[in-house]
Amino acid sequence: MLVQTKNEERGIAGCLAALEEFDEVIVVDSNSTDRTAELAKEAGATVINFTWDGKFPQKKQWQLTEVDTRNEWLLMLDADEFPTPELARELRAIAEDPAEIRVAFDLPVAYHFAGVGLQHGHRVVKRSFLRRGMNSFRNIDLLHLPGMGEVEAHYQPEPRGPVGRTTAKLVHNDVDPVRTWFDRHNRYSDWEAFIRTHPGIRGTVRESKSGQGRRFDALPLKPLVFFLYSYVLRRGFLDRRAGFDYALALSMYYWQIGLKSREMQRAQAAAEQVTAHG
């Protein structure tokens, strides 16, 4: 399996501890300046360095094409993710089944927010269990966006065959302070606003999302709809204050996207008027 890292010293130990039963663990590091690579080696993982050249492929696609592995099936993780024991057993059964025809699996994500594990509310899936040679990330024209880095934006790898979904969950537990969540999502909202105001790119990105993501992309009034969906319909209120905080934080994220999109559309309209009268 493949773990991607960059200055992930705080999270890498917990991730690797959950991978003891896996046959091969490869950490793809990106010139870390902390002890990430050292800790990974001490845990018995193979460490491979990735230096991005600013072009396609980015890190995940590079891993799929350039990293040699002993096994046909790959579990691709970020350093703040790890499989539950139940998921590890389920993935083993899939990989060992000679009759398995599916080429990728979507994993339901058990999310932690601000240090609290959420049992209810909004749920996402991540296409992270991939049959080697049967999945790839599309080359989408996003590399010029402000803040875009070495890792692909939020879209799924495209399979060349049927896709399944596991029952057991992948845990996402970001141990960094909650301010880093807001820092990242402020940057993500820049990307999403740009995508939303460029129909051609938006259509391509939508095709690369999960069915859930495509349906949500088409919804109007996303901030309000998302809050009601996560906190009320999906019973996020049962997670008490953490459920409210998470639903509100993501609602504000979608509000940011909408606000920035409208600003970009006004700027585009003004530029078109100048061109038309020039």
Between the alpha carbon of residue 48 and those of residues 40, 61, 225, 256, 277, the distances in Å are: 10, 15, 43, 37, 55
Residue 165 has pLDDT above 90, yes or no: yes
Q: Taking the alpha carbons of 229, 230, 234, 238 in that order, is the dihedral positive or negative?
A: negative
Q: Which residue has the higher pLDDT, 180 or 201?
A: 180
Q: Which residue has the higher pLDDT, 208 or 140?
A: 140
Q: What is the pLDDT of residues 40-58, one digit of tens each?
A: 899 899 999 999 898 889 9
Q: What is the mean pLDDT of residues 14-35?
A: 90
The pLDDT of residue 1: 62
**Cα 216 from chain centre:** 16
Residue 245 pLDDT grade (very low, low, confident, very high; cuts 50, 70, 90): very high
Give the model's pLDDT for residue 199.
82
When pLDDT is averaged across residues 90-106 and rounded to a whole number, the result is 97
Model pLDDT, residue 147: 67
pTM: 0.86
In the chain, the domains with their CATH numbers are: 2-276 (3.90.550)
Alpha-carbon span 2 to 77, nearest angstrom? 6
Q: What is the chain's mean pLDDT, rounded? A: 89
Tell me: pLDDT of 2 over 90: no
Q: What is the pLDDT of residue 125?
A: 92
pLDDT at 36: 87
Q: Per residue in 190-223, pLDDT tens?
A: 988 988 888 877 777 767 666 666 676 667 889 9
pLDDT value at 146 more than 70: no
Question: Is 89 in contact with 75 (CB distance < 8 Å)?
Answer: no
> Does residue 82 carry a pLDDT above 90?
yes
Q: Does residue 145 carry a pLDDT above 90? A: no
249 has a pLDDT exceeding 70: yes
Residue 154 CA to residue 158 CA, distance in Å, equals: 13
Other beta carbons within 10 Å of 97: 10
| pLDDT score recorded for residue 251 | 96
* pLDDT for residue 26 is more than 80: yes
